[in-house]
Structure 1
Amino acid sequence: MTESERVAPGSSWVTVQFVLVGVVWGSSFLFMKVGLEAVSPGQLVWARLVLGALTLGVVMLVRRERLPRAIRLWGHLLVIALTFCVAPFLLFAWAQQYVSSGLGSIYNATTPIMAAVMAGAVFRVEKLRAGQLAGVALGIVGVIVIVAPWQGLDLQQSVPAQMAMLAATACYGFSFAYMRKFVSNSGVSPLVFSFMNIGLAAAVMILLTPLLAVEPISLAAGPILAILALGALGTGVAYIWNQTTVRAWGPTRASTVTYLTPMVGVALGVLILHESVSWNEPVGGLVVILGILLAQDRIRTRRRGVDRLVE
């Protein structure tokens, strides 16, 4: 990173961008819900990725960044594009037809739990202490509280949709662990990295157009604006703001945006879409967040010696 790219960690502008990322990503579930009034899930994801790639591509041109030449790196980034963008975006878009936007934002907060599981158990790039394993278990309890099986299970809509959202966050967790194992030392700048992920994902969706994006659409101002915001802001500009925060604060502190997005998502769902919120959803979300704090080792047990490494 050059001196001109550095941002003072205490800069108020960094804090503003951090908050903006939380607001935009928290609003993404509202944008999806509104956009689905006019387009299919496949069309929504198609537009989101193409608009995001175009936005990041313009910034790439302005900054005169160059793409890497290593074929192996392109292969790894294609895997990430599929598991970090295409698959989870499609799963969330499909699920949003059957659940509230606020509930979608709460489930999105399980991503760090999934990342801890994938990093420790699948890719073996981290060793989890007992306290971190307790955090994963607590996160699972939080999900059970959100699903609320004691209220009866809707096996036709709600439960499959909630399982699809968990599958989406599992994709995110897989991607984060995969990034750490295979591309963490690639030397690619965060902007180029984001552009390639979104750009490759957009290319995949363009190839899948005959299968996923040829249904009739209903043109209306509200859904069109929501899709534009989801693509250009949520999948474009917000990535740039997030990169600034990561560079200034580091990845651990910057990742706390995960705690902001559910609050924004639930609030917007209630205020704008008049969605109802059951007591178990925010309570389960808080349990998930506590599990995240433990899984990320931000809450340490008093006796560290009790925590044994899980190989």
Structure 2
Amino acid sequence: MPLASTVRMAALALLWGSGFLWIKLALNHGLSPAQITIVRCALGTAVLALLARRAAQRLPNSRALWGHLAVAALFCNAIPFALFALGERSVDSGIAGVLNATTPLWSLLIGLAVGTDRGLSGTRLTGLLVGFAGTVLIFAPWHRSGLLSWGALSLLGAAASYSVAFAYMARHLTGRGAPLAVSAAQLLTATAWSTLGLPWAGPVDTDAVGILAVTALGVLATGVTFYLNYRLIADEGATSAATVGYLLPVVSVALGALILDEHIGRRVVAGMVVVLTGVALTRRQPERPARGAGPYTSAAPPRGATSPHTPAPAPAPAPAPATRPNAPEPNT
């Protein structure tokens, strides 16, 4: 891999993984979950709108597409962003990153349920069971110091919400329109959804650290990460870009320990390793059939492979991608 792509991948993992830290800092410095969600969506929209304008891409003009974007924005942005902020009020940022790693497992489970993923081999089924066993190990409901709480369940709900969105986008949004413009439109819609939480936002009572944290969350961990991921897929392909997803919980745990002095016990670390092992197994795909009818193409990553923090489903540009009939892949 060229040095530029390696640097881009490292930056992407750092920025994505830092999102949980920024949420925690914003909460610790007086911002409410509703305020964090609204500002995050708005700033991410601004970044992507500027990038779209620079690339001469216009917002969609199809009413039907905006309708699909409204559903995707609700489940891929407004709900999970709010649930992560709610969950991190009582759960460490490092653990939030670990629970976020369960997203590909939910994606596979929901994809099987709605018919967007039909390739359940024995290896992938094993990976699904192993991954959820790792989640149980993290929660440890049989242990007094287990993580079973409303905050942790909110984080798990955020991961599941991403997966619902991915299944929906796989059917209705993949390949629709210019990617930067569609992404900006999706986050613009998410901003509108998040403003429904204004009655519960409360008065703004923060300081410079809180403002800097939520700004970094919206600009860097939401807007800029999409562009970096988009470029990485375009330059190196989806498989290389997908490896970033394995680094996110490691980054979140490391940043939480270094900056917030969070302690992640051996049980949680072991659970994280088990979850990531399960995710790796679920990404095993059968051999691609002839004539380009394989389970995924160079224009889109394997299902559930990348982090859900990127706001849009649009694929990276490719000269003539072969697509799987009736089962386009979300690039999130």
| TM-score bracket relative to the smaller structure | 0.7 to 0.9
Letter in 2 for 1:286: V
How many residues are paired up? Answer: 286
Cα offset, 1:174, TM superposition: 1.4
Matches within 5 A, 1:126-275: 126-152=118-144, 159-186=149-176, 188-206=177-195, 208-213=196-201, 215-275=202-262
The answer (yes or no) to whether the contact 1:116–1:296 under 8 Å persists in 2 is: no
Letter in 2 for 1:175: A
Q: Which structure 2 segments of 5+ residues have no match?
A: 288-332
The answer (yes or no) to whether the contact 1:139–1:292 under 8 Å persists in 2 is: yes
Secondary structure of the residue aligned to 1:164 is helix
Letter in 2 for 1:15: T
> Greater helix percent: which structure?
1
Quickly say closer, same or farther: Cα 1:159–1:153, change in 2 above 3 A: farther
The answer (yes or no) to whether the contact 1:100–1:269 under 8 Å persists in 2 is: yes
Quickly say closer, same or farther: Cα 1:173–1:265, change in 2 above 3 A: same
The answer (yes or no) to whether the contact 2:119–2:286 under 8 Å persists in 1 is: no
CA distance in 2 between counterparts of 1:70 and 1:133 reads 39
Letter in 1 for 2:190: A
Given the alignment, which residue of 62, 74, 83 partners 2:54?
A: 62
**1:18 and 2:9 equivalent?**
yes
Cα offset, 1:56, TM superposition: 1.2
CA distance in 2 between counterparts of 1:251 and 1:77 reads 23
CA distance in 1 between counterparts of 2:51 and 2:223 reads 9
Quickly say closer, same or farther: Cα 1:18–1:299, change in 2 above 3 A: farther
- The CA RMSD over aligned residues, in Å, is 1.9
What TM-score do you get using the length of structure 1 for normalisation? 0.87
CA distance in 1 between counterparts of 2:148 and 2:18 reads 21
Letter in 2 for 1:34: L
CA distance in 1 between counterparts of 2:285 and 2:252 reads 24
Kindly provide the CA deviation profile for residues 19-70 of structure 1, in whole angstroms up to 9, marking residues without a partner as x.
1111011111110000012111011111111111111111222222112222
Q: Which structure 1 segments of 5+ residues have no match?
A: 1-9, 301-311
Letter in 1 for 2:164: F
Q: Percent identity?
A: 35
Residue 309 (structure 1) aligns with: none
